[in-house]
Structure 1
């Protein structure tokens, strides 16, 4: 890493933990939503990255959904947050245990409205119980159905079954979004070359009925992979 890359890493760590403590003091989910958006704007601005939302008219103004997105980079949650900036939708991110315990993300994740997913747990009853509590309070659930970052050359990798199950168990429709730009490549360019005026496109899809029996991955591909 060169000096510029080190300085960006230090700044990102500082900013993430700063907002983690701000989120800890937040008194409502509305305040947390505002802080999550602010954090996303500040960090992406530092990286000279802007977010353009395609099909913005399809984005619901409010309601609770299972939001699903493809996943290629560590900044994908920030991109999704900015896509929802003009909506009242506020979601709890499904976050793996490693993020809750991470030095970099831990304070932020634990305080930003998140649902812990422990893949090593003997059963998932506590996880699904928490998702029901979140939905009952009127909030959405945000998840990357691929389960982990897609490092292949394909725009999406295989979906895990858990995403569709969450929608069915909670009887909530699915809001699909697609990060059209390879955000990982853009992030590398931002860090390594400090390129100005970088842009990432995210597309809003059509609402999917939770009762739809077609595999979720296939519906998603039909909407976004032309």
Structure 2
């Protein structure tokens, strides 16, 4: 592990836990969302990473959605937060139990308005109840339908069925987003060099009706012209 990697890891850990503490003490949902945006912009400023939104005209300015995205990097949620910053769309991330217990992300995840998904639980009623509460309050739900990071050399891996079920149960239109740039490679370059501005392209797709019976993965591939 080189010196630049060590210093960035220390800074990122400090920043993440600092904002985790601030989020814990946030009194309102609005303050919570603003802190999430500030965290993303602060870290990306340090890394000199910019987010470029393609098809920005397709990005709704308000409303509630099931936002879905491909997932290759640990900074993917921050990329999406940055893309939405000038809209009134506010949402809650579906987060795995492992993130809640993580030394690095734990405090932040628990306090950032996330929805706990415990795949080992035999009773998912509390999970679906929380989703319903979020949707009923007019907020969006953000999810990576692949279920975990795609570490293969493919645009996306197989989608789990859960995302479509969430959309149906909560009558949420689906907002598809595709992170075109390999964010993992950009992150590595930002950490190891940090001497120039780097850009991550993120593409907005057409809204999918929650009643659409086409498999979600098929719809997503067609919208973004992804090879199977």
Alpha-carbon distance in structure 2 between the residues aligned to 1:24 and 1:196: 34
Please say which of residues 97-106 and 23-32 is displaced more in the overlay: 23-32
Alpha-carbon distance in structure 2 between the residues aligned to 1:150 and 1:104: 20
Secondary structure, aligned partner of 1:175: strand
Alpha-carbon distance in structure 1 between the residues aligned to 2:195 and 2:181: 16
Aligned twin of 1:190: 190
CA deviations on 1:50-85 (whole Å, 9 max, x unpaired) are: 100111111111111100000000000000000000
Secondary structure, aligned partner of 1:107: helix
Cα RMSD (Å): 0.9
Structure 2: where are the runs of 5+ without partners?
A: none
Alpha-carbon distance in structure 2 between the residues aligned to 1:149 and 1:170: 25
Aligned length: 226
TM-score, normalised to structure 2, is 0.97
Alpha-carbon distance in structure 2 between the residues aligned to 1:171 and 1:29: 22
Secondary structure, aligned partner of 2:156: coil
Q: CA deviation at 1:214?
A: 0.2
CA deviations on 1:142-194 (whole Å, 9 max, x unpaired) are: 00000000001111110000000000010111011110101011111112233
Aligned twin of 2:15: 15
Please say which of residues 24-33 and 206-215 is displaced more in the overlay: 24-33
Is 2:176 the counterpart of 1:176?
yes
Q: CA deviation at 1:94?
A: 0.1
Question: Are 1:29 and 1:90, in contact at CA under 8 Å, matched by a contact in 2?
Answer: no
Question: Are 1:168 and 1:210, in contact at CA under 8 Å, matched by a contact in 2?
Answer: yes
Alpha-carbon distance in structure 1 between the residues aligned to 2:225 and 2:100: 32
Aligned twin of 2:42: 42
Alpha-carbon distance in structure 2 between the residues aligned to 1:54 and 1:23: 30
CA deviations on 1:182-209 (whole Å, 9 max, x unpaired) are: 1011111112233511100001111100
Q: CA deviation at 1:126?
A: 1.5
Aligned twin of 1:222: 222
TM-score, normalised to structure 1, is 0.98
Aligned twin of 1:110: 110
Aligned twin of 1:162: 162
Aligned twin of 1:70: 70
Is 2:140 the counterpart of 1:128?
no
